[in-house]
Amino acid sequence: MNPLNFLPLAKSKGVTVYAQKSDFFSFFNSPYYSHINTSAVDIYPGGSNLETLVLSPVDGTVSKLYEFKSPRPKYFEAPEMEQLILITPKENPNVYVRLLHVNCNLQVGTLLSVGDCLGPLIRSGFFNFWTSRHLHIEIRSHEEPLRAKGGYPMEPINSGQNILRRKAEGIPCMRVRYVNENYALVELEGGLSKLGNFWGLECMVNNVSGILDCGIPHYCHGGVHTMDAAPAKVGDKIWLWGVTIGLVTQVFRNFIHFKCSPLSIYVNDFPIKGLSLYPWLREAENIKLIPKFPHDFQHLKIGENICLKFVEEVNM
């Protein structure tokens, strides 16, 4: 591992998970059980190997490779079979590191260091049409390595100087940076905020500042990374740009889990499915807009200025 290119991202059961400084990631931006229950992290390569090759996030030994049938997606082609990779980590041989969504080209018994190539990422049948390729990571017991439930809690490592800045009181101006048939990336005027090693979109929870990690409102839940979550309480409102986007459901040492509030989001009065908000390990001034259906964003042009609008729905 080149220490200049990697940073510690998460820890569980004595095992440290690393990611490249160019990567973005998510603990909560997913509808699946392990992300709802704070026991997984997804790493999205953000450098030159985007959507091609993925590097090992841990030191260890390839212990087992399982093949299983992947769901058939509605909007794109995906491999019929997928691999589940179990690595015995050097830091704690009594657990497994469980990896998904990579076509591993290694043999059982291969020794790994952080940064070694695992193989190409795949577009999995578990993905939605807007989901970018990524490596899914959990820490599992030897007794429960396979089923969806059973991962150990994973704690984000957002250590470092607490610098939160560039906070916008209202919805800021945005410029379209990239558009394809599945999503759009927009650049914020004024950029994002920083918390330790994490860059992302800032929110407020009971006077606590944090970095959002969520898909709102489409995944119905999300997370907030903070330096100290203690002042937040269950039931507190999550505020983004003066809008309530959720209510706190759990408070941990340095992150918060929340349930999304009923919201409708519009781009220039055009309804969209939601916002996909990821933290980065480098400064990246963009967020992801999700359409209701593929090809819905054909009207957006690169360089165009757009306005977001939030409509809070009232439950009767």
- What is the residue-level pLDDT of the chain in tens, covering all 316 positions? 555 689 999 999 999 999 999 999 999 999 999 999 999 999 999 854 445 789 999 999 999 999 999 999 999 999 999 999 999 999 999 999 999 999 998 999 999 999 999 999 999 999 999 999 999 999 999 999 988 888 999 999 987 666 666 666 678 889 999 999 999 999 987 678 888 899 999 999 988 889 999 999 999 999 999 988 999 999 999 999 989 999 999 999 999 999 999 999 999 999 999 999 999 998 877 899 999 999 999 999 999 999 999 998 866 4
* 245 C-beta neighbours (distance < 10 Å), count: 24
Check whether residue 216 and residue 143 sit in a common domain: no
State how beta strands 208-216 and 274-277 pair.
antiparallel
Check whether residue 76 and residue 125 sit in a common domain: yes
Check whether residue 198 and residue 132 sit in a common domain: no
Burial bucket for residue 299 (CB in 10 Å: 0-12, 13-18, 19+) = exposed
**What's residue 223's pLDDT?**
98
Check whether residue 240 and residue 288 sit in a common domain: yes
Q: What is the pTM of this model?
A: 0.94
294 is in which domain, residue-wise? Answer: 174-312
116 within a domain of the structure (yes/no): yes
Last residue of a domain, one of 156, 189, 220: 156
Check whether residue 139 and residue 178 sit in a common domain: no
Check whether residue 105 and residue 186 sit in a common domain: no
Tell the residue number behind the tokens 């009767």, with chain if given.
316
Q: What is the dihedral of CA 202, 310, 278, 302, to 10 degrees?
A: -110
Q: Please tell me the number of Cα atoms within 13 Å of 289 on its side-chain side.
A: 31
114 within a domain of the structure (yes/no): yes
68 within a domain of the structure (yes/no): yes
163 within a domain of the structure (yes/no): no
Check whether residue 122 and residue 197 sit in a common domain: no
246 within a domain of the structure (yes/no): yes
Check whether residue 96 and residue 206 sit in a common domain: no
**What's residue 130's pLDDT?**
96
**What's residue 44's pLDDT?**
94
Check whether residue 71 and residue 146 sit in a common domain: yes
Determine the Cα–Cα distance for residues 312 and 316; give it in Å rounded to an integer: 13
Q: What is the dihedral of CA 208, 211, 213, 215, to 10 degrees?
A: 80
